[in-house]
Amino acid sequence: MKRICVFTNTLASGGAEKQSLMLANTLKDKYSVWLVVFYGEFVEKKFADFIDRNQIRQIRLSGSILARLVSFFKFIRQNKIDVIFSYLLTTNLIGGVVGKAAGVKYTIGGIRSSKLDKNKIFLQKMLQNYVNNYTIYNNYRGLAILSDLGFTAKKALVIPNFLSIQSAILKRPTNDVITILSVGRFHEAKDYETAIKAISALSTRFERFQYIIIGYGSLEKEIREWVEIYNVDRNVSIVVNPPNLADYYYSADIYLLTSIFEGLSNTVLEAMDRALPLVVTNVGDNDRLVKNGVNGFLCRPKNVDEIANSLLILCTKPEMRREYGTKSHQILKENFSQENFEQSYIQLIESLSK
């Protein structure tokens, strides 16, 4: 039986962290799996509960950086790890270098965005091309873009994220007040200023709606200022990292994403699982999630008019919202199921020994 380490930087809220948990849980019944958290002190309660509930073996490293590296090296040697999976730059580097030094035959890194910080491109390229055996992308656009920048395509493959999909499609009532929802970190990439501008434009043509922004991060102050600047404080609520996130998805009518770059958006997948119609910018692999005029609308990044017009159409057409929401759930179920995710990883792991 292969011995596998799923290596994550932290278990704070985030897409990479969540997918690390999903991967460890998916593989544990077929292989001997450990989840290793480099900064073991950063573990959200919801993730800790998931680990306990699913009986995932975990190692939380602690101490100085050197102490964590030494502990990780010893763990690999003592448990004779065959494969290390990681998703982000820090763990790609540590998993690759320390893993190889400790005798791991296969180290597999990850890239989760269609755009990398310019300060990270060189190191990620070196890791993909010369250190790790493979790099797993969660989106096709990122693979295409980085291949043009010299990342070795033959050492890369795409395995999209997955959700545990609800079997039943959520049926929503026709609400008098339409709820538009966005979920994501308060970060430049999410471009909340464009979202708020679009909400401001919508408010001049349609009144019966509210816009809820859920997340956390360094731009919270700026987002609150934009709400005032664009005079939409009556329509907009900002909710910081609530424990009952699922309730907000269930009570929403439309999902909005205005990112300027993405990989494969977990929040869009979650919205599709709740049968929501979508208004998203055409970045990352959003064009694989949203079929324009089928389950939502694809808009150009920063195009306030396109976004506002798309929201207006969905706000005023309840039958379209229901139809698009049903299609969202169908697209998710057909393309981003746990079965597809599990089979892709198992095929990769089994191919390593051939």
**Domains of the chain, with CATH numbers?**
3-162+337-351 (3.40.50.2000), 178-335 (3.40.50.2000)
Whether the pLDDT of residue 169 is over 80: the answer is no
pLDDT of residue 314: 98
pLDDT digits (tens, 9 = 90+) for 285-326: 999 999 999 999 999 999 999 999 999 999 999 999 999 999
Whether the pLDDT of residue 273 is over 80: the answer is yes
Whether the pLDDT of residue 165 is over 80: the answer is no
pLDDT of residue 46: 86
Whether the pLDDT of residue 173 is over 80: the answer is no
Residue 127 DSSP symbol? I
Helix or strand holding residue 155 (H, E): none
Percent share of the chain, pLDDT over 70: 99
Whether the pLDDT of residue 250 is over 80: the answer is yes
Whether the pLDDT of residue 29 is over 80: the answer is yes
Whether the pLDDT of residue 162 is over 90: the answer is no
pLDDT digits (tens, 9 = 90+) for 176-213: 899 999 999 999 999 999 999 999 999 999 999 999 99
The SS3 of residue 201 is helix
pLDDT of residue 340: 87
CA distances from 224 to 187, 281, 332 (A): 13, 22, 33
Q: Mean per-residue pLDDT for 212-230?
A: 96
Could you tell me the pTM of the whole model? 0.81
* Residue 153: closest CA among 119, 111, 117: 111
Whether the pLDDT of residue 15 is over 80: the answer is no
CB-based contact 279:297 (threshold 8 Å):
yes
pLDDT of residue 166: 66
Helix or strand holding residue 335 (H, E): helix 318-335
**How would DSSP label each residue in 3-55?**
EEEEEES-BSSSHHHHHHHHHHHHHTTTSEEEEEESSTT-B-HHHHHHHHHHT
CA distances from 350 to 81, 106, 108, 234 (A): 15, 12, 14, 56
pLDDT bucket at 354, cuts 50 / 70 / 90: low
pLDDT of residue 163: 74
Return mean pLDDT, the chain.
Answer: 94
| Residue 29: count of CB within 10 angstroms of its CB | 8
